[in-house]
Structure 1
């Protein structure tokens, strides 16, 4: 696999080696030893999640203030624009974001470590989004930052439709008012 740091070095783009021929393709989507070597520490995943969303759905920017989750994310059908925002106040990249297009064709994965808010926008007609987490979902500790916070200035792609948000995401805080990591 190829591992490429983003503009925020803790967030990594992981591209597996894909073997393909006229029958289709094969790739190793996760290997614990190779992943630990890539991130420079042992990471234990405890939960796998799968969401399906239609074009224009924007999920995020989510995080858990306690029981923080690292996430290894990928798309198996369709395409999304995936975003990670550094919300660690002590970090030199605090308030910065990185975005990556994840598609069923490019097989890219994004490693979003603990201490980041995460979200994605579906840019295809629909998308199946899979992700592994390093801690269990804890609704009492879940927080969200507004996807359109002017301070963040995330440049979401134009899908031709207005973003579709959950009620929870419509109520999200701006970064300046959010409960953050130290």
Structure 2
């Protein structure tokens, strides 16, 4: 894991961009340590820098959690393949025309999902080696390792429910 930038934010949270091989990510950590780790995934290929995701991550980190997110393949800072570009264009055209999109959507999202678990495992292993980061781990989409607690398989907490989300984390991660 290589940290490429670091900044202390107004809320006291330390934000660090990192790369891990080809995987770009962001880690937000609170002033208090050690902090339990929360992995925040984004939906439908949004970048790790999506404002809603960043707001959730900062809010959660300011309340005592370490939070990490990564860009999925073909999203955010990751290059897109010709097949990714074609699937995105086909999806846009079909949606605009009111045509069925299930097959096109699967051709776009399927590879993202297939690669997500191994990339998150690699990232998680590296993050848990850092000082000040501890388990258990919460993940917005669930997790499959017995040493980690799942975040209930939820698709993420809406921005307007951040306080409820933090109470959920308090109950399940501490």
With the shorter chain as reference, the TM-score category is: under 0.3
Structure label with greater radius of gyration: 2
Q: What TM-score does the superposition give when structure 1 sets the normalisation length?
A: 0.27
Greater strand fraction, Structure 1 or Structure 2: 1
User: Going by fraction, where is helix more abundant, 1 or 2?
Assistant: 2
